[in-house]
Amino acid sequence: MLLEKVIRRKMSPEELGKLRQLVTDVQLQVELELIKLRLTKDLEEKRQESDEALKVVKLMELELEKLTTEAEQNNSALNKRYQVVRDENNSLWVSTILSTLGAVVTVGLFAWSKFR
């Protein structure tokens, strides 16, 4: 306040108007710089969050690749086991059919020899 009174006494109204405009411009410039600093800080925080999220996504991709590989290996093993079981089942059917056919032929020959 005292400084303002001294300035008013020693300055003309035009100079005082210019000084007020200069002060206003400086205040606006300071506010603008503060806003820039806040925005820069916010941007850096968002960038760090983004980097962290990207790391998480990369880890998830690696885990997905690992699980996919494991699933493919399990699928391959299951397919091999299915093939073995199917082959064993087919062999069992062939064996059963041959045994049944052998029994029918044996009974038929026995019956033929008895009733001939």
In degrees to the nearest 10, what's the CA dihedral of 49, 53, 58, 63?
140
Average pLDDT for 94-116:
88
Half-sphere exposure of 49 (CA within 13 A, CB side): 6
pLDDT score at 91: 87
pLDDT score at 114: 85
The runs of H, that is alpha helices, within 1-116 are 2-10, 13-115
Q: How far apart are CA 71 and CA 91, in angstroms?
A: 30
pLDDT score at 29: 97
Q: Where are the domains of the chain?
A: 2-115
Nearest to 19 by CA among 31, 9, 7, 30: 7
Residue 105 CB contacts under 8 Å (≥ 6 apart), including other chains: none
Single pTM value for the model:
0.50
pLDDT grade for 92, boundaries at 50, 70 and 90: confident
User: Which single residue is written with the structure tokens 């941007």?
Assistant: 43
Q: Is the pLDDT of residue 67 over 90?
A: yes
Q: Is the pLDDT of residue 9 over 80?
A: no
> For residue range 13-48, what is the model confidence (pLDDT) as tens digits?
788 788 889 989 999 999 999 999 999 999 999 999
Q: How far apart are CA 78 and CA 86, in angstroms?
A: 12
Mean pLDDT value across the chain: 90
